[in-house]
Chain A
Amino acid sequence: DGGITQSPKYLFRKEGQNVTLSCEQNLNHDAMYWYRQDPGQGLRLIYYSQIVNDFQKGDIAEGYSVSREKKESFPLTVTSAQKNPTAFYLCASSHVLGRSYEQYFGPGTRLTVT
């Protein structure tokens, strides 16, 4: 079955540690996205990538980093510089220009930093 996988579902870290969230897709999509979701604030775009080895900052990129070495994979690192990292993180993918821009979402990773 085609889809997006995110692992782990729940992640706990101590303050000051970097942590990497995994996102893999087998939909043959060129574009991938990372969002952060906080209660009452909807989805905020962290980073996005339209092609391998290229990515762009979204609205709240500070304290985060990404890489896109393979089409299928777009891991997100939450660094110790992120002031308030506890949140629900969602990965998505889509076709690029010329399509409907519909995004497909993974199940999410809930990160708790104490």
Chain B
Amino acid sequence: AQSVTQLDSQVPVFEEAPVELRCNYSSSVSVYLFWYVQYPNQGLQLLLKYLSGSTLVESINGFEAEFNKSQTSFHLRKPSVHISDTAEYFCAVSEVSGGYNKLIFGAGTRLAVHP
């Protein structure tokens, strides 16, 4: 079974500084990988996804993630964060089991951007 490890439960950072949220997944032949963002008391919104092709994927609000097969990682980065990026971020990997597809989520990383 797949598993996802988000290495940092909380990441504090100052506004306009760069940030990296780390995610590692267990090895598999092929994977689909996702980053979701959750603002307080809301559902999850898809930030970006890796399905195939280019290993670097980008979101519309400046985040990017790089799929690294040899290190089984899918770290999320942003070169300059804003106060509005304060949220919880979840990494997820797809799993197909018994004909059913599921997403396996990490425990989440709380990003706190300070002025």
Contact = CB atoms under 8 A, between A and B. Distances in A.
Interface of A: 4, 6, 31, 33, 40-43, 45, 48, 50, 56, 58, 88, 90, 92, 94, 96-97, 100-108, 110
A26 to B, nearest CB: 16
B43 A100 contact: no
A72 B51 CA distance: 27
Nearest to B93: A101
Interface of B: 9, 32, 34, 36, 41-46, 49, 51, 90, 94, 96, 98-103, 105-108
A90 B88 CA distance: 15
A56 B95 CA distance: 15
Nearest to B106: A42
B72 to A, nearest CB: 18
Given A104-B46, A105-B36, A107-B43, 20 more contacts: A33-B102, A42-B105, A42-B107, A42-B108, A50-B100, A58-B102, A88-B41, A92-B44, A97-B96, A97-B101, A100-B32, A101-B101, A102-B34, A102-B46, A102-B49, A105-B43, A105-B45, A107-B42, A108-B41, A108-B42
